[in-house]
Structure 1
Amino acid sequence: MKKVLLLLIVVITISCKNEPKKEVKESIKKEVVKKESFPEELGKVFEAHGGIDTWRNAEILSFKKGDEVHTVNLQSRINVINAPNYSVGFDGENVWLDEVEKGTFKGNPAFYHNLFFYFYAMPFVLADKGITYEKIAPLTVGGVSYPGYKMSFKSNIGSSPDDNYKLYYNPTTYQMEWLAYTATFMSKKPSDNFNIIKYGQWNNVNGLVLPTAITWYKKDENGVPTEPARPATVFTEAIINKNNLTDSFFSKPIK
């Protein structure tokens, strides 16, 4: 009986060894890498300013320009400007104005509510969706040749899709140095008249290298900047926080 049992165990063991092995399929998780739409050289500019991922993960940006406190939700782009005598904002649907006394705010709220956010958040806003890029001739100022790219918007992007920007960066550090731009909000027509701003004074705000001051320049007939057109616009008290603000913070106050 023992011999029969032993023989049976041997037969079962051999048959198990000869049985074809089942193929084990491992589920391989494929990592989807997002392909950026901007050129590689501009990617180096973004990297020199803290990196595009740092920018895209930021939530609330706040900074001061004079008496104005500008606060922007970087994910939704709703925003508000609070000053002692007025507030201007965009709640995601409407641009609004609230004044202590009518006529205190000088300007067009729809034009102004995110104007200085765009200037302050350079170069990162030039990685927004719907932008096309074109490499252009360098800008030579003071013997230094600054490589550049021209940015234009698709027709359904923003309130001024005919605006164009030209970003010029330092060939060594890759930080942006000059910004040329057209302003078509009022005319609603394309323009070849580029204003030009000097960048170069920077501050590290939670890993993002953002400007502390920008200066508008006069330019010659070839579009080359010559001298400051007016005193520098200064930005202070910049902060990047987690989003702990409700949407009502960006809404027009109820009176």
Structure 2
Amino acid sequence: MKYFYFLIVISSFLACRQPGEANVKKVDGPNQFPKAITEVFKAHGGLALWYNMRSLEFEIQKQDQNELTITDLKSRKSFVDLPNHSIGYNGTKVWLLNKDTVAYKGNAKFYHNLMFYFFAMPFVLADDGIIYSEVKPLEFEGKQYPGIKITYSSGVGESPDDEYVLYFDPKTNQMVWLAYTVTYFSKEKSKTYHFIKYDSWQSVDGLKVPKTLVWFNYENNLPTTERNRLEFTEVKFSETPPKATVFEKPEDAAFVD
């Protein structure tokens, strides 16, 4: 029940980031991004290497059975295999397959790319339509983390008023915190920030990607104590796209409105 509540909370965060073909660039252009975010990208392996990858797989550790996610990094088609269900996005629609009589309690349309978006930080913050600005550093347990605010141009996604702040280590330039607001359900600009700590990283094929994420409780727009923790395992990249059949709706599945 605790994990289910956790998924409802984070689902609202990414509801605004609707599926669509990724904007693939070939290299890190010298003037394409502000210097601070460029250095963060470089610290994680660089955009050139990220853009060369076409397929991504990872698992999320769970008590009963690990959750598998497969993503086409160009089209952003996705497949998520859970213990009792499978969710897919075929490039146009999201579908849901019930493997048994257990009803799916989440929102498949929100969840199909949810964990991909968390995992793909900081690289997804190079998508088109983003506006970057500096913010006051975050201070936590006596250490300061410089921040880069992320906002969206009008008309980008269903909730362009959402805001994100990437906080990074000033010595390594690695991402440490993600702060975010949620406006999808209220349709009103929010001043309340939620916080995720990117607690540990792993190197896979030259890219530094998340290993452990920690969601924090918050007060007065500052993180306080740990609430939930997720770990990513079995990470695989490939320069070859996944088979298209992976994302096709099975006969027994149903499209989700």
Could you say which TM-score interval applies, normalised by the shorter chain?
Answer: 0.7 to 0.9
Q: 1:176 touches 1:200 (CA, 8 Å); kept in 2?
A: no
Determine which of 12, 33, 41 is the counterpart of 1:38: 33
Q: 2:72 touches 2:241 (CA, 8 Å); kept in 1?
A: no
- Counterpart for residue 65 of structure 1: 60
Q: Which aligned pairs between 1:4-23 and structure 2 lie closer than 5 A?
A: none
Q: 2:213 touches 2:231 (CA, 8 Å); kept in 1?
A: yes
Q: Partners in 2 of 1:210 and 1:33 — Cα distance?
A: 18
Q: Partners in 1 of 2:190 and 2:155 — Cα distance?
A: 18
Cα RMSD, aligned residues only: 1.9
Larger radius of gyration: 1
- Counterpart for residue 190 of structure 1: 189
User: 1:247: how far off?
Assistant: 2.0
Q: Partners in 2 of 1:108 and 1:161 — Cα distance?
A: 21
- TM-score, structure 1 as length reference: 0.81
Q: Which aligned pairs between 1:124-135 and structure 2 lie closer than 5 A?
A: 124-135=123-134
User: 1:98: how far off?
Assistant: 1.1
Structure 1's unaligned 5+ residue stretches are 1-31
Moved more, 197-206 or 152-161: 152-161
- Counterpart for residue 168 of structure 1: 167
- TM-score, structure 2 as length reference: 0.81
| Count of matched residue pairs | 222
In structure 1, give the amino acid aligned to 2:242. L
Q: Which aligned pairs between 1:189-208 and structure 2 lie closer than 5 A?
A: 189-208=188-207
- Counterpart for residue 238 of structure 2: 241
Change (3 A) 1:33 1:43: closer
User: 1:109: how far off?
Assistant: 1.1
- Counterpart for residue 56 of structure 1: 51
Moved more, 125-134 or 237-246: 237-246
User: 1:157: how far off?
Assistant: 2.3
Considering Cα pairs closer than 8 Å and 6+ residues apart, tell me whether 1 or 2 has the greater RCO: 2
Q: Which aligned pairs between 1:56-95 and structure 2 lie closer than 5 A?
A: 56-66=51-61, 67-95=66-94
- Counterpart for residue 135 of structure 2: 136
Change (3 A) 1:252 1:159: farther
Change (3 A) 1:129 1:191: same
- Counterpart for residue 224 of structure 2: 226
Q: Partners in 1 of 2:162 and 2:238 — Cα distance?
A: 30
User: 1:137: how far off?
Assistant: 0.6
Report the 3-state secondary structure (helix = DSSP H, G, I; strand = E; otherwise coil) of the residue aligned with 1:122.
coil
Structure 2's unaligned 5+ residue stretches are 1-26, 253-257
User: 1:191: how far off?
Assistant: 1.7
- Counterpart for residue 101 of structure 1: 100
